[in-house]
């Protein structure tokens, strides 16, 4: 009996997690082979060993927090077959929200700790308060921002690594 895509993806994720745990243990013991900087293709090599079917796409990230706060680790992946069969147009709103320079600047400001529209309005490069609300509402609707309490916005933890992955894929930091 052929396994479902979800079963294959779950197996791939478990295998990658096991490889990462092994690499983390070797790294903590000082093993040079586990240092990603010495194997520029460590993630690709792990995926190559464990991918089934036509392959897969995986992205992962670790974002270390300020001292005294916990960090964030995130991994997401899909097999090529699932991506091929998906309706790509369903991604348009999320991508469109990121396709505006002002919205990217707003996201960057929120990422760096500016959390309210009033604080954002203090900067001249974001436009009027009404324009800022327009952009913030689009980012909220697309899931790139969320409200933590009335009028205070953050990039939700589950969107941090995907956002950074998209920025990296789009050309990274100049």
Tens digits of residue pLDDT in 20-65:
666 555 444 444 444 545 778 888 888 888 888 999 999 999 898 7
Q: Please identify, among 86, 104, 121, the residue that sits at the C-terminal boundary of a domain.
A: 86
pTM of the model: 0.70
Please, which residues bridge with residue 61 across strands?
74
Do 158 and 145 contact (CB within 8 A), yes or no?
no
Q: What is the pLDDT of residue 25?
A: 53
Both tokens of 23, joined, read 């690499």
Q: Please identify, among 61, 86, 111, the residue that sits at the C-terminal boundary of a domain.
A: 86
Q: What is the pLDDT of residue 158?
A: 92
Lowest-confidence pick of 59-68, 84-93, 118-127: 59-68
Backbone φ/ψ region at 111: left (φ over 0), alpha (ψ -120 to 50), beta: alpha
Lowest-confidence pick of 62-66, 122-126, 156-160: 62-66
For residue 19, give the nearest of 34, 3, 39, 40 by alpha carbon. Answer: 34
* CA max distance for the chain: 61
- pLDDT-based confidence at residue 69 (cuts at 50, 70, 90): low
Strand, coil or helix: what is 119? helix
Residues 82, 95, single domain; the answer is no
The alpha carbon dihedral of 154, 157, 161, 163 has a sign of negative
- pLDDT-based confidence at residue 137 (cuts at 50, 70, 90): very high
Residues 96, 160, single domain; the answer is yes
Residues 17, 63, single domain; the answer is yes
Helix and strand numbers (H, E) in the chain are 8, 4
Mean pLDDT for 131-155 is 95
Q: What is the domain range of residue 9?
A: 5-86
Q: Please identify, among 67, 86, 105, the residue that sits at the C-terminal boundary of a domain.
A: 86
Average pLDDT, rounded, for the chain: 85
Provide, rounded to the nearest whole percent, the portion of the chain with pLDDT above 90: 53
Do 126 and 120 contact (CB within 8 A), yes or no?
yes
């Amino acid at each position: 009996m052929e396994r479902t895509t979800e079963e294959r993806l779950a197996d791939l994720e478990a295998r990658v997690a096991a490889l990462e745990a092994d690499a983390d243990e070797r790294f903590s013991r000082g093993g040079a082979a586990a240092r990603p900087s010495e194997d520029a293709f460590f993630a690709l090599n792990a995926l190559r060993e464990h991918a089934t079917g036509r392959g897969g796409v995986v992205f992962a990230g670790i974002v270390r927090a300020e001292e005294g706060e916990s960090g964030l680790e995130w991994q997401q992946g899909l097999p090529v077959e699932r991506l091929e069969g998906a309706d790509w147009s369903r991604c348009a709103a999320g991508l469109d929200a990121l396709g505006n320079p002002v919205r990217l600047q707003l996201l960057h400001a929120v990422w760096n700790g500016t959390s309210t529209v009033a604080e954002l309005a203090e900067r001249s490069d974001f436009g009027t308060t009404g324009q800022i609300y327009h952009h913030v509402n689009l980012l909220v609707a697309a899931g790139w921002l969320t409200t933590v309490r009335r009028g205070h916005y953050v990039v939700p933890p589950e969107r941090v690594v995907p956002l950074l992955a998209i920025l990296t894929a789009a050309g990274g930091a100049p």
